[in-house]
Chain A
Amino acid sequence: MLPVPTTCPFCACGCGLYLLANKDGLVGVAPSETHPVSLGRLCARGWSAHEAALWGKRLTHPLINRKGTLEPVSWTEALDHVTGCFEKLVAAGKPVGVLGSVRATNEENYLAGKLARAGFSTNNLDLSYHSVCGPLLRGLEEVCGDFAPSISLNDIESSQTILLVEGDLAGTHPRAASAVMAAVERGAYLVTVTHTATQMSRLASLLLPAKPGNEGEVIDGLLAAVLQLHLEDQASLAGRCEGYDTLRGNFEAIKVTAEMRQAAEHIARAARATFLIPPLSGEGPPGRREVAALASLAAITGHLEKPGSGLLPLVSRNNVRGACDMGISPDRFPGFRPLDDLEAQRRLQDLWGKEPPLASGLDAESMLKTVSGLIVVADDPPAVLPQGQQALAALGTIEFLVVLDAFLTPTAQTAHVVLPIASWAETEGTVTSMEGRVQRLRVATDPPGEARAGWQVLAELCARFGAGASYASAADVLQEAGRGAPRYALAHQGEDRWGGTGLAKGTNGRKFRLSVADVPTPDRAAGSHVLVRDGAYDWGRDPLVSYSPILSRDFQSERKLFPKGFIEMCKHDADEIGVHPGRPVRLTSAQGSAVVPSRVRTDLQPGVLLVPFALRDHLAEVFGNHSVTAVKLEQA
């Protein structure tokens, strides 16, 4: 067996690991003690990472849908069919688009963006995961001017105070949780804001309970406490912060608790403080407004400037940052630059030899409903978009759907043409961790059948639509991407380094805009309980997890035990309506009603009802378009 160093494909922490392979393929995983992020450790997902490429329903041949059946064809036939159909759609003036992915490499995402913008002259280009992480990135950008974090995972360990607004950090990001634990062991003051008695909250010095969807009230309270106690960092206020007077006007009068004052003092007085923003319940991170408030709190207490202090957003999926940096967005060019950024326009024009489209495109959700032709690169929108099965139905109505994937996902099953590409264990390329490490994936084994590296297939498609270039390797693509996204200009030089090339940290010299909107009034009119999707440690139907026998076992056994889904509540709520564990309950919101079995958990607050993200479709009517909703709970 030969150990092949590569990067973990799951969350965005960016751990390094070795894939072990013999002549028959992948055999296992080994940790790396020298990798600067993982330091010899791996989480449960990392330890089973090889299964993610070995076990899935792998695609081995190009497929064309003929009378409802996907039939194997040659690469030439499949690519000719794609070219012909898209040329007809474009000639007829019909809208087309491209979906990139958090599962795809930087090189694949860059070429997906090039295909849309230079090939089809459209900004109909998105990432379905933007529906989840978009508010986080935009909230950070609003205040800091950039979503790139100013600290790394290793900085957490030396923090004196940590503010953690979490769903279940230990489940979603064990690597970050281990850093928080190390800091607590060294005496750090941990403040958690959560609605569940999580593992981190048991280690916390101070617990600030929050109802799902109302985490913002606690963050607002902390901001108000800092203002009322005059704990602002005067040097930061004078030098770097804009909009302080408005912030003060909006927040100073808010009522704060003694615990909030206590937390505010610890945050303000720490020489090094970390503000961690992992996913909340419902898989998603906090909303744009809450993130802006949190960033403003960090800014006025000086922690966006102090060395070793800062904000660290943590997203669930692997290459969110890379996909954004490659411009997979309907309103951002590579470098995550706005479409009206003249410098970005000029760079792309020089690079592609044609003017990039300047009108905003459609986002992922709108594309599913609107476009006639869609190319999906390693994405499965029904597994990611909150609408779930509705997204799958929308995909079925698209006139011509092309899917490039390593796995036969539900999206691929709906496609007119399926192009098999190598999985993360079989391709060259890079991914970018949330803290900004551009790290290599390496070929540990050959892709199955006739599957090809994704960047090669996309380069061929680009060439067929007039956006060709000669790439001998994935590194050539990264080099070109570095000319479009200047932060990546040197990435190709350092990609052999274990731990990758570190991109520039955020907040370099920019003014912080303290632009938090008015305090919203929570709507609790429709019922006494709050229903929320519980995304913690539930990767739902992500193919990397759902096909891995060890990783998918918990989800699968839950689906078998509860084919009609379930909700979870505390014992107090169950007793109040006289329902026994396992019996059905009726939930009624302003949007609709549903009857589902119930389970009891001892770590929930009264009034909080959770539904696993993967089982959200059973409550689609109750949620409507909301991620958190007030409901009436009664015995069915």
Chain B
Amino acid sequence: MVFTLAKDGATKWLAKLLEAGEVIAPVRGPCGDVIFSTLRSPTQVLWDFENPLHPPKQYVLPQTDPLIRIKRDGQRHEVEPIYDDAPRTLFNLRSCDVQGIAFLTRMQEAEPADASYLRRARNLTLISLACATPCPAGFCVCTDSGPFLHKGYDLQLTDLGGNFFVDVGSEKGEAAIARAPELFRQATEAETAKRQTLEAEAKTRFGPETCHFGSAMRRISTRRVPEALWEKMGDWCLECGGCNFVCPTCYCFSVKDLGRNGTWVRCRLWDSCQYPAFTSRLRGTIRGRSARSG
């Protein structure tokens, strides 16, 4: 099913979505950054923006994620799961971030399935904005994560100039349209053709970095990276863990109990395999590379 939405209708639709629950979208932060934030008003949302460094994965996998509440009752412990069932809409996220969340969901669905994550993901509607112009150093075309998508989204918007073309990907997407059906109409053949043209053109707009990415992936997967290059990269790594945290697909985590007023909350915390104690490596840390023994 394909629809179009007039541009001036988008704000009215967002107002309806806001009535139904939390809407998160890229906004211009108080200090000029583009950042994913809970919307306070439909006019906050950005339509023309470069994707922020920090992905929206925190809305399915928060950096500090409470999982279980543990109470002590005499000699017994009461354990109850903590679920976040709040309905949320992630609006105007880019194709790569949709695929990032799809990847995370695939991992968390695998047995043993993670009920806490899945409840949050099931209550999340993904309304993406396709990229007619890829990012300057984008490589999504190499990882099947853009610039346009054919799955993973609930709704996919494409900016046709005067209006938005709307691809429907799921029942959750249909439900989002049903919040204000009067704002949508069936797309014409000409509109559909225009959307297809935009997608085809977008694929031709990737820069030389994209070729480097493809070449790097081939070299890594066929083990043709010289050892000296890994050594050099180790010298340039500051073990900040940022690569894990800004990656839309990374879910390295630790588990730690947070004590408050006699109750313990078991939390999952974003963690990084670049941190020394996360995984003890035979050759020491990446940065130090100086094996300690004893």
Q: Which of B59-67, B100-108, B111-119 lines the interface with chain A?
A: B59-67
Interface of B is mostly: loop
Q: Provided the pairs A43-B240, A202-B235, A549-B269 are in contact, do residues A28 and B62 lie with their beta carbons within 8 angstroms?
A: yes
Q: Provided the pairs A27-B58, A597-B294, A600-B294 are in contact, do residues A3 and B63 lie with their beta carbons within 8 angstroms?
A: no
Q: Provided the pairs A34-B32, A50-B64 are in contact, do residues A553 and B277 lie with their beta carbons within 8 angstroms?
A: yes
- Check: B37 CB closer than 8 A to any chain A CB: yes
Query: Would B31 and A32 count as touching, CB distance under 8 A?
Result: yes
Q: Place the interface of chain B in its size category.
A: 35 or more
Query: Would B292 and A601 count as touching, CB distance under 8 A?
Result: yes
Whole-angstrom CA separation of A141 from B275 in the bound complex: 38
Q: Which of B33, B52, B254 contacts A549 (CB 8 A)?
A: B254
Query: Would A600 and B62 count as touching, CB distance under 8 A?
Result: no
Q: For B65, give the chain A residue with the smallest CB separation.
A: A27
Q: Which of A174-182, A309-317, A462-470 lines the interface with chain B?
A: A174-182
Q: Which residues of B contact A5 (CB under 8 A)?
A: 29-31
- Check: A557 CB closer than 8 A to any chain B CB: yes
- Check: B293 CB closer than 8 A to any chain A CB: yes
Query: Would B37 and A581 count as touching, CB distance under 8 A?
Result: no
Interface of A is mostly: mixed
Shortest distance from the beta carbon of A494 to any chain B beta carbon, whole Å = 14
- Check: A206 CB closer than 8 A to any chain B CB: no
Q: Which residues of B contact A566 (CB under 8 A)?
A: 294
Query: Would B294 and A33 count as touching, CB distance under 8 A?
Result: no
- Check: A476 CB closer than 8 A to any chain B CB: no
Whole-angstrom CA separation of A582 from B290 in the bound complex: 16
Query: Would B31 and A35 count as touching, CB distance under 8 A?
Result: yes
Query: Would B54 and A27 count as touching, CB distance under 8 A?
Result: no
Shortest distance from the beta carbon of B176 to any chain A beta carbon, whole Å = 21
- Check: A498 CB closer than 8 A to any chain B CB: yes
Q: Which residues of B contact A85 (CB under 8 A)?
A: none
Q: Provided the pairs A41-B240, A550-B269 are in contact, do residues A31 and B54 lie with their beta carbons within 8 angstroms?
A: yes
Q: Which of B31, B38, B240, B258 contacts A44 (CB 8 A)?
A: B240
Q: Provided the pairs A550-B254, A557-B277, A603-B290 are in contact, do residues A42 and B32 lie with their beta carbons within 8 angstroms?
A: no
Whole-angstrom CA separation of A171 from B35 in the bound complex: 29
Query: Would B271 and A550 count as touching, CB distance under 8 A?
Result: yes
- In the complex, per-residue mask of A577-590: 1 if CB is within 8 Å of any chain B CB, else 0: 00011110000000
- Check: A554 CB closer than 8 A to any chain B CB: yes
Within 8 A of A (CB), among B33-88: 33-35, 37-38, 52-54, 58-59, 62-64, 66
Shortest distance from the beta carbon of B276 to any chain A beta carbon, whole Å = 5
- Check: A394 CB closer than 8 A to any chain B CB: no
Shortest distance from the beta carbon of A328 to any chain B beta carbon, whole Å = 29
Within 8 A of B (CB), among A261-298: none
- In the complex, per-residue mask of B127-156: 1 if CB is within 8 Å of any chain A CB, else 0: 000000000000000000000000000000
Within 8 A of B (CB), among A334-357: none
- Check: B184 CB closer than 8 A to any chain A CB: no
Q: For B236, give the chain A residue with the smallest CB separation.
A: A181
Q: Which of A1, A44, A55, A581 contacts B293 (CB 8 A)?
A: A581
- Check: B207 CB closer than 8 A to any chain A CB: no
Q: Which residues of B contact A75 (CB under 8 A)?
A: none
Whole-angstrom CA separation of A18 from B33 in the bound complex: 10
Query: Would B29 and A3 count as touching, CB distance under 8 A?
Result: yes
User: Can you offer 18 A-B residue contacts whose CB atoms are under 8 A?
Assistant: A1-B38, A5-B29, A5-B30, A27-B58, A27-B62, A28-B58, A33-B33, A40-B53, A41-B242, A43-B240, A44-B239, A55-B258, A199-B235, A498-B32, A549-B254, A553-B254, A581-B293, A601-B291
Q: Point out residues on B near A: beta carbons under 8 Å.
A: 24, 29-35, 37-38, 52-54, 58-59, 62-64, 66, 235-236, 238-242, 245-246, 254, 256, 258, 269-272, 275-278, 287-288, 290-294
Given contacts A30-B54, A31-B53, 6 further A-B contacts (CB under 8 A): A2-B38, A24-B66, A28-B63, A44-B272, A550-B275, A554-B277
Report the 5 A-B pairs with minimum CB-CB distance, sorted nearest first.
A581-B294, A28-B63, A582-B294, A498-B31, A549-B256
